[in-house]
Amino acid sequence: MNILFVTQWYPNRQQAYFGIFVREHARAVHKAGHNVNVLALSLHKSKGLFNNELNQITDEFGISTIQCELHSCLKNVLYHLPFVQEYFLLKTYNHYLVQFKPDIIHSQVIYPAGLWGSALARRLKVPHVLTEHWSRLVDFSKNIYFTRAIKVYQSADAILPVSAFLKTNIQSIVPGLRESQFSIVGNVVDNRLFYFQPEVKETETLTFCAVATWQTKKKPDKMPELFIRALSILQQHHSRKINLVMIGGGDKTDELQEMCTSANVDARFTGFIPKEQIADELRKADYFVHASAIETFSIVVAEALACGLPVVCSNAGALPELINDENGIVCENTIENWTDALIRAISIQYNRHQIAHNAMSRFSMEAIGEKISAIYSRLHL
């Protein structure tokens, strides 16, 4: 089948990792045997009033991507004008893809791509599939465009939230959706990079790893202070040396480094590093820690599991869907609960090979591609 992905969240020349999970979905669908084209529109801050750049590439998987990049000093205004964005998106479609006849339009995230994809699907008279990733979906329900979004959800031929948690969120704010519209399809773990590899570990050292963007926010979604304090307490009562590897950047990094120093936690901050290096760091670690206030999926937890790491994480959002007694511990977001969870985790003999196998059976590119492909086939009968 010919599949057209429509998205605003997608890697581009200025943001190489933005929406990388959408790209992995496109690659999974392509690997499942479909002809995939991606139509992506991105907004960028610039000094000028307005500039529109078009960029067409074919990646190493053979997926053709047409990127419409809008550069403007009024970027924030443009974000709230989806109809203006839609004009340029359709113009790009007419220029580059008029000969490409999609059998299915697959939008990624309701706003704004879901609005565009739904309109294009009606115009072309093909089914519309909507994958939802958005952790702030409930906040969007207060947006002036939410009335149109409700109609897009209700008319969608299939809605693919990345977790049961997100499905519940959608159902809570959008009336009249049918159960038959929903299929839960998680994000893709790239099994070329993230895999289990038995290693001889240092018996005198325990290494914990965390991956996130360490950003200061009014409503923080990541809470690394919890596991830093808990590891400090654990170190005081444990004979083995404890190391912490913090992967990722952000404006909170310096503050967290100072916190680790004052808490006597031996921490190494890598900054942003490529996925290949992240996978190497995970394979060298003993445990993965992830303290969060909200998660619609958590690809970093799934990637850690694929490397065979037991995970200690917050009881938040979709995380309990990933973690069970065989692969880790879910805890409440208090220092006491985190400390207790870490103590219990290091006392358990986990089967790391089985952890990796179970993760890949759910989230490998092949597994996700087959799941989405089955949905397409049902709609294209």
Q: Report residue 303's pLDDT band, with 50, 70 and 90 as the boundaries.
A: very high
Q: Which amino acid is at 124?
A: L
CATH of 205-362 among 1.10.357.10, 3.40.50.150, 3.40.50.2000, 3.40.50.300: 3.40.50.2000
Condensed to tens digits (0 to 9), the pLDDT of residues 141-161 reads: 888 999 999 999 999 999 999
pTM: 0.92
pLDDT in tens, 209-263: 999 999 888 788 899 999 999 999 999 888 889 999 999 999 999 999 999 999 9
The alpha helices in 244-292, defined as continuous H runs, are 253-262, 275-284
CB burial string 262-297: b at 16+ within 10 A, e below: ebebebebeeeeeeeebbebbbbbbbbbbbbebbbb
Q: Are 78 and 43 in contact (CB under 8 A)?
A: yes
Least confident of 177-191, 233-247, 310-324: 233-247
Architecture of domain 2-188+364-379: 3-Layer(aba) Sandwich (3.40)
Average pLDDT, the chain: 93
Helix (H/G/I), strand (E/B), else coil: 88 = helix
What is the residue extent of each domain of the chain?
Answer: 2-188+364-379, 205-362
Is pLDDT of 301 > 70?
Answer: yes
Decide if pLDDT at 203 tops 80. Answer: no
- The percent of the chain in helix, strand and coil, each rounded to the nearest 5, is 40, 25, 35
The answer to whether residue 192 scores a pLDDT higher than 80 is yes
Residue 381 has pLDDT above 80, yes or no: no
Q: Say yes or no to pLDDT of 53 above 70.
A: yes
Question: Per residue in 93-132, pLDDT tens?
Answer: 888 887 889 999 999 999 999 999 999 999 999 999 999 9
Task: For residue 89, give both structure tokens.
Answer: 């998106």
Q: What is the reported pLDDT for 160? A: 98
Tokens 């074919």 belong to: 58
Quick: pLDDT tens for 335-350. 999 999 999 999 999 9
Predicted confidence at residue 175, as pLDDT, reads: 86
Residue 48: pLDDT over 90 = no
Domains 2-188+364-379 and 205-362 share a fold: yes
Alpha carbon distances (Å) from 327 to 254, 306, 333, 341 = 32, 11, 19, 13
Give CA 72 to chain center in angstroms: 27
Longest dimension (CA), the chain: 67
Residue 198: what pLDDT?
A: 85
Give residue 95's identity as a one-letter amino acid code: H
Give yes or no for a contact between 117 and 105, defined as CB atoms under 8 angstroms apart.
yes
Query: pLDDT digit string (tens) for 355-380?
Result: 999 999 999 999 999 999 999 999 97
Q: Which residues, in sequence order, are CB contacts of 375 under 8 Å at separation 6+?
A: 129, 158, 160, 183, 185
- Tokens standing for 213? 């963007």
